[in-house]
Amino acid sequence: MGNTSSMLTQYDIEEVQQHCNNAFSQQEIVSLYERFCQLDRNGGGFVSGEEFLSVPEFAVNPLSQRLLRMLDGLNFKEFVAFLSAFSPRATVQQKIEFIFKVYDSDGNGKVTFNDMLDVLHDLTGQFISEQQREVDLILEMPLFTDCKQVLTKVLEEAGYNKESLLIMSDFVKILGSSGLKMEVEVPVD
Amino acid sequence: MSSGKGGELIPSSSELDLDRPNIEDYLPSGSSIHEPLGKLRLCDLLDISPTLTEAAGAIVDDSFTQCFKSNPPEPWNWNVYLFPLWCCGVVIRYLILFPVRVIVLTVGWIIFLSCFIPVHLLLKGHDKLQKNMERALVELICSFFVASWTGVINYHGPRPSMRPKQVFVANHTSMIDFIILEQMSSFAVIMQKHPGWVGLLQSTILESVGCIWFNRTEAKDRETVTKKLREHSQGVDNNPLLIFPEGTCVNNQYSVMFKKGAFELGCTICPIAIKYNKIFVDAFWNSRKQSFTMHLLQLMTSWAVVCDVWYLEPQNLRPDETPIEFAERVRDIISVRAGLKKVPWDGYLKYSRPSPKHREQKQQSFAESVLRRLEEN
């Protein structure tokens, strides 16, 4: 596929469509290509981390660094495959797989306690560990001020523990029943 | 600034923070991670889909990048008989119009310099006369510039009057905005100091109309500039100030947030709306893609630059308004008149990253919902 040309041939479009399992229509792929070229300012055929971070809406997202690790250096075909989990045509299984990949930073198919802790830290910043909450004296509720404690408690209630290594099927079991809403609309002219 | 939720907002040292009203009002829903009810379970913690959706949404399309996109006009010359017509047009534009325009501009510069230099050097003692003559000459050279692109400019509204404590603000599309406005009446402008021949012009000729320079990259610069602005606006004899509060060139279809500097000087604000007609050429100066010289050349080789300028009703700070709200109100007036869509971003994000404050707000609201649900049994 031409990296520097800004024209997609019909053959290119079909190849991309196949690669992403028909998650996007041909028109959407053309739109995504325009967007990809717009982001790829230096025309290198891939969008660098810096170029993604120049989109302010992306830069303020708590998970931007994690996503950058997955996005950095992708060419257009891989870019579309990355976004395919967000298509309305994607199955719940595909969406859960994507979420699993976000957690599984070393890509070994197992999500550890530390992986989950890292994501929780990304999402909550310093607002859990530094927050001083008053103990509810009447109900004598325990004082949770730490991400580790929160995660451990919730894991144990679900039947896991700190040493558990979660795999894909665990994620499917945990997330499969909650209505997972993860869709993005590709603007088409 | 929003402060109503529980824990302390960590103050950020970035100056950009002080300039913006609450962004959460503008961002699409989902800007705060949604809060379901009920006890916290593992699936709630692991389900990061709202955050991921926001990130993917930003990757696919975002309102900030749209502001700086130059939209090339549709090619209309794809037909058998249209193509030769277009070729004739190219020949006329490049081989006839362009040389004529260059001659006009050169003549203009000769006239200007031969009057300006003597006036500048010889009339040093007679301040008032010198100032008036220099103003007239600058207006003249601007008219020559406008003629060199065959500018068809419609001015609407009463011509600005020279009164003290009056500041003009306009939306910004290109450096030619200044030239277009200057040809009608003399303004003092505040500009980023540029390198090259533009910088030379800035330090010699524009000094005479009373310009103020700033340097985007210097943090302390802001205080000195604010002081200079204040001094200038109080002066009786100075040209009225023209400020472009967006701080950067935007593509004339959107407007980015106005910086509050111009709105806290205690002066009347006279808004000016500028809208370019893209029929012959897109006047947006995409400083990331073209140098100013190339931009001028592009203008000089097109048929005409067509635009509308509206001088709008002067506004004052209302007693219950903050300068930021005032800036937003004026931005609204200008955007409505010029048909621009408003976006909640600071133009300077072109050059720097957003402050951590926004990410922290999201993190804080998520953290609070987790802790709250944890305590439910």
Q: What letter would DSSP give residue A111?
A: B
Task: Flag if A160 and B65 touch (Cβ within 8 Å).
Answer: no
The H or E element containing residue B169 is strand B166-170
**Number of Cβ pairs < 8 A linking chain A and chain B:** 165
pLDDT score of A175: 87
d(CA A91, CA A119): 23
**What ipTM was assigned to the predicted interfaces of this complex?**
0.88
B313-322 confidence digits (pLDDT tens): 999 999 998 9
Widest distance between CA atoms in chain A: 69
Least CB–CB distance from B370: residue in A98, A124, A186 = A124
**According to the per-residue pLDDT averaged within each range, which of A34-43, B103-112, B119-128, B365-374 is highest?**
B103-112
pLDDT score of B347: 85
B43-59 confidence digits (pLDDT tens): 888 889 999 999 999 99
How confident is the model over B63-91, as a mean pLDDT?
Answer: 83
Burial of residue B86 (CB within 10 Å: 0-12, 13-18, 19+) is middle
What does the block give as tokens for B208?
């005479």
d(CA B359, CA B57): 16
How confident is the model over A3-9, as a mean pLDDT?
Answer: 62
Q: Is the pLDDT score of B32 beyond 70?
A: no
| A129 vs B31, residue with greater confidence | A129
Strand pairing report for B268-277 and B341-346: unpaired
Match domain A11-90 to its CATH number in 3.40.50.720, 1.10.150.120, 3.30.70.600, 1.10.238.10.
1.10.238.10
How far from each other are the two terminal CA atoms of chain A, in whole angstroms?
A: 23
Which of A48, A55, A63 has the highest number of chain B CBs within 10 A, making it the mutation to test binding with B?
A: A55
Q: Is the pLDDT score of A79 beyond 90?
A: yes
Task: Flag if B56 and A151 touch (Cβ within 8 Å).
Answer: no
Nearest CA distance, B64 vs chain A (angstrom)? 7
B275-287 confidence digits (pLDDT tens): 999 888 888 888 7
pLDDT score of A144: 53
pLDDT score of B280: 84
Nearest CA distance, B57 vs chain A (angstrom)? 6
B96-130 confidence digits (pLDDT tens): 999 999 999 999 999 988 988 888 787 777 777 88
Write down the mean pLDDT value for chain B. 82
- Asked if residues A1 and A15 have their Cβ atoms less than 8 Å apart, the reply is yes
B80 touches chain A (CB under 8 A): no
Please state, for a pLDDT cut of 90, what percent of chain A lies above it. Answer: 38
Return the amino acid letter for B153. Answer: I
d(CA A119, CA A170): 17
pLDDT score of B306: 92
pLDDT score of A6: 60
Return the amino acid letter for B62. Answer: D
**Nearest C-alpha neighbor of A74 from the set B66, B49, B55, B59:** B59
Q: Is the pLDDT score of B170 beyond 90?
A: yes
d(CA B6, CA B58): 28
A15-30 confidence digits (pLDDT tens): 999 999 899 999 999 9
Q: Is the pLDDT score of B246 beyond 80?
A: yes
B288 touches chain A (CB under 8 A): yes
pLDDT score of A143: 53
Q: Taking the CB of residue A90, how many other CB atoms lie within 10 A of it?
A: 20
Least CB–CB distance from B48: residue in A99, A127, A141 = A99
Write down the mean pLDDT value for chain A. 84
How confident is the model over B190-203, as a mean pLDDT?
Answer: 79
pLDDT score of B234: 79
CATH 1.10.238.10 domain position(s) in chain A: 11-90, 91-179
- Asked if residues A113 and A162 have their Cβ atoms less than 8 Å apart, the reply is yes
pLDDT score of B219: 66
Match domain A91-179 to its CATH number in 1.10.287.610, 1.10.10.10, 3.40.920.10, 1.10.238.10.
1.10.238.10
Which residues on A lie below 8 Å from B69 (Cβ)?
A: 38
